[in-house]
Amino acid sequence: MANRRCFQTLTRCLQSIRTLTPISESLAPYTAPALNQTLAATSPNYIFANKFNAYQRAAVPARSFCSRHTDSDDDEEDDYDSGEEEEDYSENEENSSNLSAEEKEKEANEIGYTVLGPLQISDRVFKLYEPVFAVVQIGSHQFKVSNGDTIYTERLKHCDVNDKLVLNKVLMLGSLTQTIIGRPILPEAAVHAVVEEHALDAKVIIFKKKRRKNYRRTKGHRQELTKLRITDIQGIEKQENTMPLPPTKKEKAEKKVAMEA
């Protein structure tokens, strides 16, 4: 009924425009007090515009024959949706790359590593093998790691290729003579690594089928991985090589000379 009333007034407005009669005259018996106020202030052109605005405010939303019950339901739904949207929006903001440096570091730390900085040409980071191992945790995966090893982890977000990292979640250290077990983490231990590659794994095809039900789905998936090369393990005494070195060429030559003489 309200809709019908609104439509009637709208058509009347249109008619008044076409016939160029003052709108106030045609609408006098029907106008609400608020509309009267808007009418009084402005010029004929503006009256028309104001009229329309006022009517839009007064018009019922375009759902015909809506009862109070459904109105309240819609309101609740709207609130719920807006709440969800807000939450999603906030999550998206955090997920986007507009994190401050501190937040990035914090996230990285939680996963179990800290970014030190890009590798310089002058850094002699890649050493010979040392007989020391460490058990390191990144995210939810643990690796038993030694010098010069390669590890593939899930994509680490805040580091670029050729960056130095310190993996600070070390669960166990061991050398030839000593083993140090953490409860659960060793606080003073550190494992240095260098990011070698951010690449995609080979494609895995996920095939779903329900027989005799005409249901078949194929989906391809490539996991994003990071390749790390472990360069150094700190926190445990590394033994110096006590084995007798094989005689060098000079010493051999001297021996020969001594023998001949």
Of the candidate residues 143, 156, 168, 170, the single one contacting another protein (CB under 8 A): 143
Closer of 203 and 212 to another protein (Cβ): 203
Is 126 a residue that touches another protein (CB under 8 A)? yes
Answer for which of 75, 86, 91, 201 binds another protein (CB under 8 A) is 201
Angle between helices 33-41 and 44-58 (to 10 degrees): 160
Of 57 and 203, nearer to another protein (C-beta) is 203
Distance of CA 136 to the CA centre of its chain: 24
What mask of x and - would describe binding to another protein in positions 215 to 234, judged by CB under 8 A? Answer: ----------x-x-x-----
Measured in degrees and rounded to the nearest 5, phi and psi for residue 47 equal: -55, -45
111 is an interface residue for another protein by CB under 8 A: no
- CA distance linking residue 143 with residue 170, whole number of Å: 10
Q: Is 125 in the site for another protein (CB under 8 A)?
A: yes
Residues 154 and 228: beta-carbon distance below 8 Å: no
**Residue 144 makes contact with another protein by CB under 8 A:** yes
Half-sphere exposure of 201 (CA within 13 A, CB side): 14
In the complex with another protein, which residue's Cβ is closer, 42 or 179?
179
Applying CB under 8 A, which residues contact another protein? 119, 121, 125-126, 129, 131-133, 141, 143-146, 148-153, 161-162, 174-176, 179, 194, 196-204, 225, 227, 229
